Structure 1
């Protein structure tokens, strides 16, 4: 059980990997996919590595977190949509677990993100009036489509890439906020998700076996992985162009 001792809003179980009944071949394949995801440029993007050690101006910070607001918009609903393209109860259980985690038992993670924005001076009016970059809109819409469109193997590949890379992404956001001087209460959303996303990745790992047991299934799964990583990479490229490269770095 993960709990933030300083600022409790939600508690949740962190699922662990369960290799029971999963062949060594499939375990090796999925571990190779994890290595591929974690080595992708979108996970170690130059902007994220730079931000972890570089203070942003107020306007740059507003740009980063309003673009992130666009990326995150309605994601728990998109995850739940995966259950509409399958009749596999194991997948239903895991995607609902994921969505329920995001809803929380006291307040939703989207509400906690809104509170985080308020703590760094970004208002709901800013969110409403902001015109996001095209790559951020395409990322959000692309995730929605990937999670709601057969075949199920492609949807699973996309969410597996999403959850696998998210803990590292949240860690780098959190490092940037630390460097900016924000305290643990302000950074709570990000510290919560570093742990939560590991559990979500493990939960998806546990239901993949029968979907990646064939050459065809693996090909469809990798379409989803590649789609997600491509969208994520373009999201970071766009933010990088606006902020880091905009400084002439």
Structure 2
């Protein structure tokens, strides 16, 4: 006797595939997929980021982070903006990300209720500098990370922000992981792993607004996203459904597990 398995409801398919689908979109993106207006927008985001980072580099919190990096030492892999120093790629992403959000004049996208460039660019510049990546690779990776962060914002809606999470910190960690995974040319499976690692790192409280911790959120998201992608490239494991699984990112931070929303 033959039996026919009943098809899974479409909602179940959507819930099961969010992390992998976003990872596949990220891994498949090519420079030739970017329309000219998108390439222009990426250049504008980078120009804006340079301006706010140069201004923010003088803030006391940035000096503290730079002093901490100097004391800890490490390989000179990437440049710290405005401080005439190089440090490890992770420390550079942390310091530059914090500097770029220190004055809170950086770009905003309401799809994620957050600041994409301040988490994406520091990680990508640090990684690109240490690996000698091309401008085309940088632009493609930035677009992949930006899209991923905003798509997750549409999935989560206002829930995370309403629950007290700073989405620049939470969704930004995943966006930076996606961007760095693309720059490292990870495949869809490894990119999903990177998103899983980033999901368990995603943190940042709105109650910290008005303190040095708010810009630190951007720096940590950038540095943690970078580390998530680098660990995934080494074979580190995580859940490939970390965004939508029980007790995963959406369940704990808020949102609606629907691929259609993205």
- Shorter-chain TM-score bucket reads under 0.3
Greater RCO structure (CA 8 Å; 6+ sep): 1
Name the TM-score, length of structure 1 as normaliser.
0.28
Give the structure-2-normalised TM-score: 0.27
